[in-house]
Chains A and B, each alone.
Chain A
Amino acid sequence: MMLLLWAALTLFADPGHIAGKVTVRRGEVAVDASGVVVYVVGFSEPPPANAAEIRQHEKRFEPDLLPITAGQTVSFPNGDPFFHNVFSLSPTRKFDLGQYPRGETKTKQFPNVGVVEVYCNIHPEMAATILVLPNRRFARAAAEGWFRIGGVPPGRWTVYAYSRRAIAPVSASVEVRSGGTTEVQLSLEETRVEVSHTNKFGETYREPGKYRP
């Protein structure tokens, strides 16, 4: 009975906000925080109907960090005038989209929560991360680190800040009140530029130019 009452209160209570700042440091230097995604964990929501997108452009994945909701679809259009092959060996979602040329788009659904590292089998410099989250309450930080997440149901949740260049995400516990704004400060340390990875066969990529005149 109490559980039902709590559920009803949560369902019909006005949502709150979580706002704050993420400080990103590389050594002693504060750096641009626009590569950070802040998200809330502790409750689930259905995914949006529209597909998210990671575009292949100038041998890069754009964006290189994409937060989505579990069950959502991501499209991978190729905007380069040559072939790409998008694949992932992550246990959360293994896939191989094959090779496809400019103008073609392939899609993939991500049903399970977790981190999916995405690469191109042809171009080793291409790397992206898809954060498959349990709900839609996430935001990308501004360059200065400010962020605001709306529509958060009242309750005690955990807020995470994730960067591809940090060893691990940082988190803080927050209490969200109906109609209120909860402030939180997070601090991340970026320690790496890019993680080395293998191709889809588990092999080291050929060195660029080694097999060409």
Chain B
Amino acid sequence: MTWRQRPSKLEKSRLGLYDALVRWTIALAVTFFATSAHAGRTRFGWLYDTETVPQRGVELETWMLEEDHKGSPPVDETSLWLAPVIGVTDQVELAFPIEFSFTSDATGSRTDLDRLGAELRWRLTSPDPVESGPFSALVRLAAKRLVTDRGAIRLEPGLVLGLDFWRVHLVADIEGVIEIPDVGNVRSEFRPGAGLSLQIAGELRAGGEFYSEIGLFDNPTVTWFAVGPVVSWTHGRVWMVASCPIGLQNITAAPRLNWAVAF
């Protein structure tokens, strides 16, 4: 007579892992293929996109971004961006961001409430892809107050161009930053980027993005470039984006997570 051996702890843990994987696979499949009202509002981590909130709709948008080992001597930055975004019309939305940052370098670390302000995003083409055709465009202007420099103002103009064909969404994003301090020189940055997002299944998309921050004139800002993969997903009233660009110059990585809940 042979006795069947009881599963060992390792086998039990493998069985548990297998069960968990099956459950998660089913749950993810159900979730990814569920219906949602709109496509991913932003399909990129660092790049702006061309979609806007429908009229009188509201989204609570959150960004978490890291800039690891930026510049020399290296600085680590983690930033948090929070904003309600309001659909003024079907093509114009207004955001009221509050920005926090944690900075760490050889001399120590600090956490700041950096900026607060308002941001207007105006989609120049119809928000309906059937009516707008494959091309879309959005202009953006943010005006922010620097909490640590109360006499200063920061302006962020931007232009986003989008192209949709088959399952592909392409974006070219040209952003600028102009900081006019109370005392001292104007600081300005040029932030070009481009990305591709491919619809994988339902509202799950994957692709890649290139993003850069270039200091202009005699600017102490560190110039950096990064490129990497991006995944975006919309489910019902939630959309989220995970991006992990790897540094090409002056930065090791710039991972970023954006998400929003619509009401």
Question: A interface vs B, CB < 8 Å?
Answer: 83, 85, 87, 89, 93-100, 108-109, 111, 198, 200-203
A93–B37 touching, CB < 8 Å: no
A98–B36 touching, CB < 8 Å: no
A98–B87 touching, CB < 8 Å: yes
In whole angstroms, what is the CA distance A34 to B36 when docked?
34
A96–B38 touching, CB < 8 Å: yes
Q: How many residue-residue contacts, CB under 8 A, span A and B?
A: 47
Chain B proximity of A11: nearest CB distance (Å): 30
9 A-B contacts (beta carbon < 8 Å): A89-B37, A97-B55, A98-B54, A98-B55, A200-B37, A201-B236, A201-B237, A201-B262, A202-B235
Known contacts A109-B131, A203-B237: A98-B56 contact under CB 8 Å: yes
Residues of A within 8 A of B54 (CB): 85, 96-99
Contacts A202-B236, A203-B236 known; 13 new A-B pairs at CB < 8 A = A85-B54, A87-B37, A97-B54, A97-B90, A99-B54, A99-B55, A109-B130, A111-B130, A198-B35, A201-B37, A201-B237, A202-B34, A202-B35
Residues of B within 8 A of A109 (CB): 130-131
Q: How large is the interface on B (under 10, 10 to 19, 20 to 34, 35 or more residues)?
A: 10 to 19
In whole angstroms, what is the CA distance A35 to B130 when docked?
30
Within 8 A of A (CB), among B1-51: 34-38
Chain B proximity of A105: nearest CB distance (Å): 13
Chain A proximity of B60: nearest CB distance (Å): 14
Residues of A within 8 A of B235 (CB): 202
Residues of B within 8 A of A95 (CB): 128, 130
Asked if B181 is at the interface of the complex by the 8 Å CB criterion, the answer is: no
Nearest-neighbor residue (CB-CB) of A87 within chain B? B37
A99–B36 touching, CB < 8 Å: no
Nearest-neighbor residue (CB-CB) of B261 within chain A? A201
In whole angstroms, what is the CA distance A3 to B145 when docked?
72
B55–A100 touching, CB < 8 Å: yes
Chain B proximity of A211: nearest CB distance (Å): 14
B37–A202 touching, CB < 8 Å: yes
B36–A83 touching, CB < 8 Å: no
Within 8 A of A (CB), among B40-85: 54-57
B57–A99 touching, CB < 8 Å: yes
Chain A proximity of B146: nearest CB distance (Å): 34
Known contacts A201-B36, A202-B35, A203-B237: A108-B56 contact under CB 8 Å: no
Residues of B within 8 A of A108 (CB): 128
In whole angstroms, what is the CA distance A99 to B35 when docked?
20
In whole angstroms, what is the CA distance A94 to B262 when docked?
18
